[in-house]
């Protein structure tokens, strides 16, 4: 089995700088991955996921645009995720060190796309709030197979890329320039999605 991601091996930074997005497989060890699954399952059972909206100031739920259900992560409530966030912190520190992004905080949520849902093509920076610098999606779909749908489509002038939402896969992209879309999913689709921010969340922490 190939080894898990090591943020100190800087090849990923070059690739992100050149390509504006990067796909990292084997992000965390399998035992940690199973505890992330358990947390997600617990949140679903406790009905903690709510229909997501769009925008920051005039936040609206528009099912024709995005159909996912989300739960914002309060890290103090979920110590089991410390391992995941330690790795995210290493990524953030390396980006500050080598790319001078000035990342200061982060915001992450669980996301569940029920069968038939999608998220139309969009950018992750809001017009009224541009502190999202790097978008991160960590997929949790064990046994995903062709036909299950829910792929991430990344739009670029040089050509589009389709990313399969495979368990233990992390995708990073530049929030200000990468237009992207979640294709309709034929099965329920799970992820942890978040953003590295250059200023504190402050304005319109979405819930
Ligand atoms: C988002 C988003 C992509 C994905 O939540 O803004 O684009 O693959 N998610 O889940
Ligand atoms: Mn997005």
CA of 193 to the centre of ligand 1 (A): 7
Partnered with residue 69 across adjacent β-strands are 51, 112
Locus of tokens 């966030």:
85
pLDDT one-digit tens code per residue, 167-207: 999 999 999 999 999 999 999 999 999 999 996 555 544 43
Which listed ligand is nearest to 70 at the C-alpha?
1
Instruction: Check whether 42 has a pLDDT greater than 50.
Output: yes
CA atoms within 13 A on the CB side of 144: 21
- In the chain, what percentage of residues exceed pLDDT 90? 80
CA of 66 to the centre of ligand 1 (A): 9
Residues with CB under 6 A from ligand 1: 111, 119, 124, 137, 152, 180, 182, 191, 193
Instruction: Check whether 163 has a pLDDT greater than 60.
Output: yes
Which pLDDT band, with edges at 50, 70 and 90, does 136 fall under? Answer: very high
Q: Give CA 185 to chain center in angstroms.
A: 16
Atom 5, ligand 1: residue with shortest CA distance:
193
CA of 127 to the centre of ligand 2 (A): 14
pLDDT one-digit tens code per residue, 57-115: 666 677 678 999 999 999 888 888 999 999 999 999 999 999 999 999 999 999 999 99
8 Å CB contact between 148 and 125: no
| Ligand 1 atom, smallest distance to 52 CA | 5
pLDDT at residue 48, as a whole number: 94
CA of 153 to the centre of ligand 1 (A): 10
* Crossing angle between the packed helical segments 82-99 and 30-45, to the nearest 10 degrees: 110
| Ligand 1 atom, smallest distance to 181 CA | 7
CA of 153 to the centre of ligand 2 (A): 10
8 Å CB contact between 25 and 168: yes
Contacts of 85 (CB under 8 A, 6+ apart): 75, 106, 108
Contacts of 150 (CB under 8 A, 6+ apart): 113, 118, 141, 144, 165, 182, 183, 184, 185, 186, 187, 189
Structure tokens at 115: 């069968």
pLDDT at residue 207, as a whole number: 34
Q: What is the DSSP letter of 199?
A: S
Contacts of 148 (CB under 8 A, 6+ apart): 141, 185, 186, 187, 189
8 Å CB contact between 26 and 2: yes
Domains plus CATH for the chain? Answer: 11-53+64-200 (2.60.120.620)
150-167 mean pLDDT: 98
| Ligand 1 atom, smallest distance to 193 CA | 5
Pocket test for ligand 1, best of 141, 176, 180 (most atoms within 8 A of CB): 180
């Amino acid at each position: 089995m190939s080894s898990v991601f090591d943020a100190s091996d800087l090849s990923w930074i070059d690739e992100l700088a050149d390509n504006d997005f990067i796909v990292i497989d084997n992000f965390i060890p399998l035992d940690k991955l199973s505890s992330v699954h358990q947390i997600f399952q617990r949140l679903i059972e406790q009905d903690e996921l709510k229909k997501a909206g769009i925008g920051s100031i005039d936040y609206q739920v528009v099912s024709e645009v995005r159909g996912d259900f989300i739960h914002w992560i309060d890290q103090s409530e979920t110590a089991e995720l410390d391992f995941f966030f330690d790795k995210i912190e290493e990524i953030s520190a390396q980006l500050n060190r080598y790319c001078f992004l000035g990342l200061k905080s982060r915001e992450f949520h669980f996301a569940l796309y029920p069968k038939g849902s999608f998220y139309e093509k969009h950018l992750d920076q809001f017009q009224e709030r541009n502190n999202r610098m790097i978008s991160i999606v960590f997929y949790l779909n064990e046994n995903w197979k062709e036909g299950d749908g829910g792929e991430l489509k990344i739009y670029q002038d040089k050509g589009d890329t389709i990313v399969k939402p495979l368990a233990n896969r992390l995708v990073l992209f530049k929030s200000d320039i990468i237009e992207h879309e979640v294709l309709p999913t034929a099965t329920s689709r799970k992820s942890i999605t978040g953003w590295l921010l250059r200023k504190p969340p402050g304005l319109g922490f979405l819930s």
